[in-house]
Structure 1
Amino acid sequence: MADVLDEKWLIEESAAQALVEILSRQQGENYKVFMHSDRPDIVIENQIDGTRLGVEVTHLFYDSEEARYVFGRSREPDHPPAPEYIEGYVRRLNALLQQKSEKAKGYNHEYPLALLIRVVSPLFHMCNFQVYSSSIVVPPSDFQIIWLLFYDFVQRRWTLLKRLR
């Protein structure tokens, strides 16, 4: 169980580090991970003015087989990059947004909340979201900001951030 918790911590930390790098670069501010917690997963802090933001980190996969593949626990999933596959991804995103919005109601937070969804599929990318953006349903929630984080295959880093709210 400790290995699973350590892996979860590392995955969350990696996503949070990518977020603080992007925000620092975009806003000319100096953000850092302030602490790990449970609800939300991460708290980041603006080093200029001391403001903090609680960040719930989650990951978007098509299904459990794709998740196992991405984490090196399975052979490549058998999903063709077809329109119905992309539509299934949007359905999974909508379900994840609903699930996390419900979960956030129970958070006791002293600073604004954000949701960071790292899109880890090797077949689903930002261009797909631009095409299907009208199908994405962002429910009301305590999250003031909702981001999608994508991998930039040119820069070979997590650098593409799309804001849904």
Structure 2
Amino acid sequence: MTGRHDDEKRLLERAAVREFIRLYNGRHDVKLRLLYQHDRPDAILQDSRGGKLGVEITHLFYDAAEAKALLGRPDGTIAGPVSLAHLIAQLNELIKRKESKKQAYDPSYPISLLIRNASPTFKLSEIWAAREHIYEPNDVFIDTWFLTRDGTKEWKLVNLDDLHASEYR
């Protein structure tokens, strides 16, 4: 059972990092490419100047029941009323948990955190409107990226280090 879970996790991570690279490269002169998937951090990228970047990848779900349902393993749990505050609390906890584990990662290159919002519950515009409630990442990771959708099939990429900027891109 663990093997299937690990394979599924790697596929989710690969999809997230590929979308991250596509969006990142679309707006930066220094391009990134995936060198290989790894553990602690989950991916090693190389930039067009030859530098390496580690990326720790995690997925945000509204709750465990939503995660199971979206991964094809519904457990019959009925969700209560949904709230944006709950999703933001989940996001804040995820950021803090990843920051606390960072010391176990390979320190030979800088590491970014990539959070892929897997929950279709709220759009980026709704989340960003409540950004004053999102935990502002500290300097544990060089960047904290948020990959999400805004009501369409297209992914959007926001750097959470810019939380207090006026608009997302």
For residues 80-119 of structure 1, give each alpha carbon's deviation from its aligned partner in whole angstroms, at most 9, with x where no partner exists. 45xxx11011111111111000000222321111000001
1:102 maps to what in 2?
A: 100
| Structure-2 residue corresponding to 1:133 | 131
Percent identical across equivalent pairs?
Answer: 31
Verify: 1:31 aligned to 2:20, yes or no.
no
What is the DSSP-based 3-state SS (H/G/I as helix, E as strand, rest coil) of the residue aligned with 2:121?
coil
Say if 1:121 and 1:103 are closer, same or farther in 2 by CA, change over 3 A: same
TM-score computed with the length of structure 1 as normaliser = 0.88
Query: Which one is further off, 112-121 or 29-38?
Result: 29-38
Counterpart residue type for residue 55 of structure 1: V
Instruction: Give, in angstroms, the shift of residue 140 of structure 1.
Output: 2.6
Q: Which residue of 2 aligns with 1:92?
A: 90
Please tell me the residue identity of whatever aligns with 1:50: G
What amino acid maps onto 1:115 in structure 2? L
Correspondences of 1:8-87 after superposition (within 5 Å): 8-46=9-47, 48-74=48-74, 78-81=79-82, 85-87=83-85
Is there any run of 5+ residues in structure 2 with no aligned partner, and where?
Answer: 162-169
1:161 corresponds in structure 2 to 157
SS at 1:137 equivalent:
coil
Q: Which amino acid aligns with 1:33?
A: L
The equivalent of 1:7 in structure 2 is 8
Residues paired across the two proteins, number:
159
User: Which stretch of structure 1 is more off in the superposition, 55-64 or 23-32?
Assistant: 23-32
Q: Distance in 1 between matches of 2:144 and 2:105?
A: 16
In structure 1, C-alpha distance between the alignment counterparts of 2:124 and 2:137, rounded to whole Å: 20
Structure with more strand by fraction? 1
Residue aligned with 1:144, SS: coil
Structure 1 gaps of 5+ residues are none
Are the aligned partners of 2:123 and 2:151 in contact in 1 as well (CA < 8 Å)?
Answer: no
Contact 2:113/2:141 (CA < 8 Å) preserved in 1? Answer: yes
Q: Which moved more, 1:137-146 or 1:31-40?
A: 137-146
CA shift for structure 1 position 138:
2.5
AA matched with 2:37: H
8 A contact 1:45–1:52 mirrored in 2: yes
Deviation of 1:76 after TM superposition, in Å, equals 9.0
1:58 deviation in Å?
0.2
